[in-house]
Structure 1
Amino acid sequence: MTIQLIATDLDGTFLTDDKKFDQALFRNVLRELNKKQIQFTIATGVHQERINILFKDFLNEPLNFVTNNGARVVKSDGTVLFSKVLPPVTLRKIQQFLNNYSMRPDRGLVFSTDETAYLPLDFDMASNKRYFKYFKYVKSFDDVREINEPIYKVTMSWTNFDEKRFYDDALAFFGDDVHITETGTGAIDIVPAYVNKAEGLKMLAESYALDLSHAVAFGDGGNDLEMLNAVGLPYKMPDADIIGQFNVALSDNNHSGVLKTIQQLITTK
């Protein structure tokens, strides 16, 4: 197989548990990928501002982005190929559902743009504190109709609650109005309907006239499944609890498993 494109999830996959990565190794890998004209893509549930912070020393590199679980796709030259937000009527429906749901997300509830975290006024600000460093702005709101910016996703999490129960309940309530997925970090994302990482990656590949049968992808969570099933060479992390016929990365996220596996692939393929 001739590798044309490589995509990786971030949390639990590319990043260590303390949200770092081996920068020297990454730079070496990027150098080899560029020589071989292999496109490198960050395919993640997080927003662009968080990526800009994590990869601040690599923003001049030819990186492609599939962010917000596929709701936004950006080529390495800055071209925005796709951008889909939650419509106002859907946001009102989400707020209504969460306000009446039996178990409030006590570990966080964020309505996200690419730069701003919108937090409900009646929600405990401290529970969302861990999100603040990844957004340029943090704003509060009482009613979603006060938000005049595009919302790509709504993220929520609980301390002691079965997210699968919420997933089932939300799916029954929303139907096809939205796409509901887990984040790989113990949270749930609600994103626009029919949006996922695989669809974003397909658009990106088509823009380069590439075929996903010649793509490699790395992931560890439920929001990576569509992407892993769409590529020719899918890898899950060694400790990933996901079901599928996937290869296993050479090491876990705390030991540069993605980068080490890429190194092996590009020196043998």
Structure 2
Amino acid sequence: MEPFVKKNESYLSIDSWMTQFPKLVAGFTTKNGGTSKGYFETLNLGFHVGDNLTNVCSNREKVAELLQIPLNAWVGAEQTHGTFLKKITKKDRGTGSDSYDNAFKGTDGFYTDEEGILLTLCFADCVPLFFIAPERRMIGVAHAGWKGSVGLIANKMVKAWGQEGIKPEQIFVAIGPSICEKCYIVDQHVINFVEKSLEVGAALSYNLLTEGQYSLNLQDLNRLILLASGVPEENILWTKLCSSCDQEEFFSHRRDKGKTGRMMSFIGWKEN
């Protein structure tokens, strides 16, 4: 069953999580229902892609209204395809919510156990990873392109939570909409890094197409890394939605040749 369920034209939610935990808000936006024009039509939520700043802020206000979490409770990052994770507290609220200049620098993942905060990251093909350890009310989100994936950002989140006393078997993960293996063709250089990131004898998440050309399943690569990190298979939800295949719903950096907007992953506990 598809874990990401469309709630309206502008976002999908992780329904099973939100049903189980009524104060949780978790999901992924589409490209529809905003005010941006041209390459960014219409619900672009990325500040850094060359869109009109007023339109991006207007789009973010619309999503804030839909989610019923004000923009000044959001946090956002200057994502660099790295693996740095930041633990967020209430004093961080608003950082990166209405400007790229004041976003958390060089950060590709957030986590928190406090309510009243919306963790957000931007995407246009890379893999959004959503984390929850309900017993400890810990939540997190990570940005895993190929560099973040082979850099083991998923494993680093599990380890960071381990330092908080959370065991891997207490962690649930949802792998969100991103580019599928049919649309994601890479060269030997990338595959060399992929092979180093997998345990010896692990199942392969890529296929050879022609000499030096491979189809890479980034979602499956992150699933394998999570399994190797101790997260049980039954704790992992995995979407079948592809950002590149579905031109009506999603922006895609690869499909749109770099001239495109950004969707947003989000997760947060609403305040009581």
Q: Tell whether the structures are fold-level matches, with TM greater than 0.5.
A: no
Higher helix share: 1
Normalising by structure 2, report the TM-score. 0.30
Pair member with larger Rg: 1
Normalising by structure 1, report the TM-score. 0.30
